[in-house]
Amino acid sequence: MILLVILVFLLFLIAGSVILATLRLSIPPMPSNRMMRAQAGALLRDYGGTGPVTDLGSGWGGFARSLALAFPDRQVRGMELSLVPFFCSRAVCALAGPGNLSFARKNVLKEPLVSGSTYVCYLSTMHMTRLSRKITDEGFTGTIISLVFALHGVQPEVSSEIDDFYRSRIYVYRFD
């Protein structure tokens, strides 16, 4: 009985943490689907250079993990601020790799963008608007591949429709 009470308490604690982080960050940790990840991987292969890849707002880590498995010769880093998804990502990474994948608990809008880098993301409209301003303010040069949400006021080099229920789009932006 005590074990059940402890498990229920932990479940509420975890759920509460995710809800509070969602309210504070104005975005839930939303996982990408398999079709999104496959199409994004193909676009990364065609447009994303050969260097490290950073997943901005990596959530539960599925997108970053799929990229690390698809590109074993590239370092893939996930950045997530929400505590529970971050720890889940780290735990899965520690238990099941791959070795070219890492996660950091950071606010993606406060970290400088490294010019010449490739970033992938699945962020909300509000966060994409902020990311657009950040790109302009920092004079970022490099590639951004965004699932579903477009950068505000920026024309994508490629816009690819996914054959999923919502007809989601993936956008590729290259800044020179």
Task: Find the CATH number of the domain harbouring 136.
Answer: 3.40.50.150
Pick the range with the lowest mean pLDDT from 8-12, 46-50, 53-57, 127-131: 8-12
Q: Is 59 part of a structural domain of the chain? A: yes
Q: Is 124 part of a structural domain of the chain? A: yes
Is the pTM here over 0.75, yes or no? Answer: yes
In the predicted model, what is the mean pLDDT of residues 33-41? Answer: 93
Segment 122-154, tens digit of pLDDT: 999 999 999 999 999 999 999 999 999 999 999
- For the packed helices 83-96 and 62-70, what is the interaxial angle rounded to 10 degrees? 30
Q: Is 15 part of a structural domain of the chain? A: no
Q: Is 9 part of a structural domain of the chain? A: no
Q: Which domain holds residue 109?
A: 29-175
Q: Answer yes or no: is pLDDT of 28 > 70.
A: no
Q: Is 138 part of a structural domain of the chain? A: yes
Q: Is 10 part of a structural domain of the chain? A: no
User: Tokens 């940790």, residue?
Assistant: 29
Q: Is 21 part of a structural domain of the chain? A: no
E strand or H helix at 143, and its extent? strand 142-147
Q: Is 117 part of a structural domain of the chain? A: yes
In the predicted model, what is the mean pLDDT of residues 4-8? Answer: 69
Considering the chain, what percentage of its residues have pLDDT values greater than 90?
A: 72
Token readout for 10 is 């932990």
Asked if residue 160 lies in contact with residue 170, where contact means CB atoms within 8 angstroms, the answer is yes
Q: Answer yes or no: is pLDDT of 100 > 50.
A: yes
Q: Give the chain's domain count.
A: 1
Question: How many CA atoms does the CB half-sphere of 99 hold within 13 Å?
Answer: 2
Q: Answer yes or no: is pLDDT of 5 > 80.
A: no
Pick the range with the lowest mean pLDDT from 7-11, 93-97, 167-171: 7-11
Question: Cis peptide leading into 85, omega within 30 of 0?
Answer: no
